[in-house]
């Protein structure tokens, strides 16, 4: 059997962070309808990244 190279990209640390936040949100809003936890997770990660950038610039 030929060896096929893995063409799937590794998730970035940001992807993993979005996943973990989304998982936590899924647990927090269990049973609540009309909530896109993926979108909420992305927004939270963006806020975290912006905060980290601002903190880095202020040093």
Each residue's pLDDT tens digit, 21-53 = 888 887 877 777 777 778 888 888 888 888 888
| Dihedral angle over CA of 45, 50, 58, 56, nearest 10 | 50
Determine the pLDDT at residue 18. Answer: 85
- Angle, in degrees to the nearest 10, between helices 37-58 and 13-28: 130
Full residue range of the structural domain in which residue 45 is found? 13-26+38-58
Q: How many domains does the chain have?
A: 1
Query: Does 6 map to a domain?
Result: no
DSSP H or E run through 21: helix 13-28
Query: Does 44 map to a domain?
Result: yes
Query: Does 19 map to a domain?
Result: yes
Instruction: Answer whether 0.85 is exceeded by the pTM.
Output: no
Determine the pLDDT at residue 58. Answer: 87
Model confidence at 4: pLDDT above 70: no
Confidence band for 7, pLDDT divided at 50, 70 and 90:
low
Query: Does 32 map to a domain?
Result: no
Determine the pLDDT at residue 23. Answer: 84
């Amino acid at each position: 059997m030929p060896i096929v190279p893995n063409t799937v990209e590794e998730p970035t640390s940001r992807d993993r962070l979005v996943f973990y936040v989304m998982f936590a949100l899924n647990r927090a809003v269990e049973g609540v309808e009309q909530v896109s936890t993926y979108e909420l997770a992305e927004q939270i990660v963006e806020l975290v990244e912006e905060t980290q950038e601002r903190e880095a610039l202020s040093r």
